[in-house]
Amino acid sequence: MAFEIRKLQKTVDGTFFVTLPKSWVAALGLKQGDAVSFLKEESKLIIQPYSGELKREVEVVILKPSEFLEREIGENYLLGADVIEIRSEDFIRSDIRERVKKIIKRLIGLEIVEEGSHKIVIQCLLEPSLVTPDKILKRLHLISLEMGKDSIHALLNGNANLARVVIERDEEVDRMYFLLVRTIRIALLNPLISEKTLIKPIDCLDYRMLASLIEHFADYSQLIAETCINYNSPPPKDLIESLNEIGKAICNCYEKAFKAVLSKNLRLTLEVSSEAKAIEEATRSLESKLYNMSSETREKLIPLISVFNYMKEICVDIADLTRTK
């Protein structure tokens, strides 16, 4: 990384300016009259060539059909590729085309824009500057919160159909999570995009961590739904009240933790910590009750103890991301 120190100069009218090293200007292909942009980031000033539009170069990736095709499409989507072209010297078989269509359904914004006998062109139709992490996170949170509430409701009522709906919704959470990762990476690689979308590089790590925790919460909600299907009937009456109280407490705690992060409210963070301890005690009490149940009931419902504890920890971890500034 090149490094130089230059002193600030001042004009008569009070304007400050600094000269740029000639070798740097030449290396970037700049000439007199070209525009450069200034970006203020915390205690830094970033200077870079300005094209006149907040657009980045279209990134095109060319792939060949292989057993890893789904993974390669997913990786390039997350890395910010705009166009993914699949080429083959031979005729692209129908099973490969079906694999491509299946994977792009999991990735928001991807569409097949051209398809021939020897190539398939996939393009991301989303405009990066119009997709912001906070909007994606709010959507992620709402889906996962409803998954948590519905999974508990399904469990308490032995509603296998509702449980299956919860499981299906987990795919939407994955889609939103992948979109967030793509959005963050594009912003980090393109300062002009991050400036327009108000994404600070220092916030990107928190966005990624928060999204990961939200995704985990949804995954555990799915496990509750799977437990409901596996048990295939409402829980014993002696467990209904405990399960209902724990479920409500976890969802309330989760909602409060997310609100604490968005509003930068440390008081809510303390409340989450306190409520998490109450959930832990209630879960221990539920575990004791389960050991007094039949072996079949205990075997099928005991996994809920670990699930509830993990969901409680997720609430605490989310609240810990709260910053006052």
Q: How far is CA 295 from the centre of its chain?
A: 39
Q: How many CB atoms lie within 10 A of CB 125?
A: 10
- Phi, psi (5° rounding) for residue 120? -130, 125
Q: Please give the mean pLDDT across all residues of the chain.
A: 89
Output the six-digit token pair for 322.
């709260």
- Cα–Cα distance between 270 and 268 in angstroms, integer? 5
pLDDT tens per residue, range 231-266: 989 999 999 999 999 999 999 999 999 999 999 999
Joined tokens for residue 156: 């308490």
Tens digits of residue pLDDT in 19-70: 888 887 787 778 765 777 777 777 778 778 776 654 556 788 999 999 999 9
Residue with tokens 């989310």: 318
Q: Set out the domains of the chain in order of their start, with CATH numbers.
A: 9-49 (2.10.260), 60-128 (3.30.110.60), 130-319 (1.20.58.220)
The vertex-118 CA angle with 120 and 76, nearest 5°, equals 35
Nearest-angstrom CA–CA distance, 184 and 136? 11
Lowest mean pLDDT among 32-36, 152-156, 261-265, 269-273: 32-36
pLDDT band at 192 (very low <50, low <70, confident <90, very high): low
Residue range 139-165: average pLDDT?
Answer: 97
Average pLDDT for 291-308:
94
The model's pTM is 0.78
Residue 2 confidence (pLDDT)? 67
